[in-house]
A and B are shown apart, each in its own frame.
Chain A
């Protein structure tokens, strides 16, 4: 029974990791842009939704406004700044990290430096007990959301025109280049989706990992780990990698607690030494 609880928990942590990483891997797949401001968007959405949810005492309003505003910020950022450094990797690093610095400092200015762990809405607070297994309701919700998002992105990629374009771009660098020249609107849209996913992760993560300025880079690192292990641009890869990383990390902590500092990075290093392009990676 204990292992059911542990596995459930690893599953929920994995779904959170997937939410964090899915937006990053999509934008990377299409745009070949590693968005280092990804964690920043997580932060913006988390703080905003918390702020608005407490003011309006309505969780849903907070969620909606948080995701919408963050997505808008992301799209404006892509249009005004990011697309100007297309095909310039170093430029992308500087622009996205510079933007992350700005976001971090503005959030610090606005919300202060005390860490925030937002209590889940009432109906998700507390635990459920089922056949002797006690498990927090909120984490069950994270599992559900993770699965829904995975299914949604999966079918978006599979059935829609945008999805087809994104898939083609992921597979072929050259297509990625030409697609970008031809349809800037597609870029905007996909970056918007990526930001929206980061924002959703921020809203859920604020009750799981919490919000604190400085966390944006921890979030970013976690996301990069998942994206890279899964293979750049592959949503399926990110999904499997998120679960893999979560299970390795959680069982690692359980069985080798004295090696807790290594449970995340050591397996990754080992894995990448053998599979230098991740699970489903095509190109670096």
Chain B
């Protein structure tokens, strides 16, 4: 009897559960559309509208939009987008995909150089096992002609051997580990974003020679990107004749930065910080909170466009270096920023990477012509691309790493909004900065030099 009773409640229980969950799901999707309409909160919190649409399944262009191109239907070029849509790096992945998709579908009506582009998005969840599965799915089941993506460098390293084996051209859009385009460079892999040290080296030189800061304290996140960006800064800074007097590393996701910042040697001329994402805002807030007056400089991620609204006045005057700024005054960038504002995506280095990748692909397809689906032809075409994207001119070096301008930016208030105003342009910066590639590669790895800069 008792048992039967329990079983009956299971039925009721089930119905209740389902009802609740449906309600929840409905609330979720409902509120998404809601914000698209109202859009009152700041840009940083806006949901990326394009990705909210559940169109991961290949869509291609709407026939209605593209009009009379139906005849071209057989010239389909498949693109695999391999980015995180869940897990810690979701937003960057979502932004990259949004930039790429928007350029292809809205700006170009779904066609690049006469090819109908079919985009297949897969979620890496920033997990190596899952990414390995997804990259195989894209290559073996969907038979894509080209792929882009990856935020987490570990994932990039993890799938690189397979990409080389399967010979599908791949452009890394975020993952920044130096080695990917240096010691471990591969034939089939390009990178449009920075290497960990690439954008930091010009800052080292600039801080020493232009800003005249003779001594510096390094504060960095204790992981590969922190070590490489801080190391790049330190290498250029010390080679310019200045001196790093202290290095402080703090774990990823440090909840409270105050005890870290309290260790800073206040005799230094400048504090250089190498922490992106949520650690960046906490770091800046903690730094201002303890009342240290030493100037703060750092990598671009420290004052990312998505973080500036929350940082507010705390960010004022921070000087950073990056190959992009939403405040760049060029026609290419104006078009990009307007487009991103339109879809509620923050115009930052993430979405710019996706957009620029689409432009690179377009140029390569044009060059490759009818043979674009031949992987070697496409790869060689990408390698020789030279064009201007929102960030400025871009091309790839012999190791398939992008060469571009690096901008020295300062957080300023312009018309009531906080922006990364460009105060200096350093043209044509490659991953080896001013060093000779062979000599550079013979130097110790930056990850092995952690803790030696302050000697």
Contact = CB atoms under 8 A, between A and B. Distances in A.
Task: Tell me if chains A and B make direct contact, with any CB pair below 8 A.
Answer: yes
Interface of A: 2, 5-6, 9-10, 13, 50-51, 54-55, 76, 80-81, 84, 102, 105-106, 108-119, 127, 129, 134-136, 139, 208-210, 212-215, 218, 222, 249-251, 253-254, 257-258, 260-261
B32 interface: yes
B262 interface: yes
A74 to B, nearest CB: 13
Q: Which of A80, A215, A222, A253 has the most CB of B within 10 A?
A: A253
Contacts of A76: 20
B46 A112 contact: yes
B248 A117 contact: no
B255 interface: yes
B35 A110 contact: yes
Given A108-B90, A117-B281, A136 B289 contact: yes
A116 B310 contact: yes
A257 B263 contact: yes
Given A13-B258, A117-B311, 4 more contacts: A9-B262, A13-B255, A111-B47, A113-B89
Contacts of A210: 278, 281-282
Contacts of B20: 76, 80-81
Contacts of A135: 289-290
Given A76-B20, A80-B17, A81-B20, A55 B253 contact: no
Contacts of B32: 109-110
B262 A2 contact: yes
Interface string B25-61: 1011101100100001110111110001000000000
19 contacts: A6-B262, A50-B45, A51-B45, A54-B42, A80-B20, A81-B17, A81-B20, A110-B47, A114-B346, A115-B278, A116-B310, A117-B278, A127-B289, A129-B291, A136-B290, A139-B289, A214-B87, A251-B259, A257-B249
Contacts of B380: none
A110 B29 CA distance: 8
Contacts of B222: 260-261
A135 to B, nearest CB: 8
A9 B260 CA distance: 11
A109 B47 CA distance: 7
Contacts of A250: 256, 258-259
A66 to B, nearest CB: 14
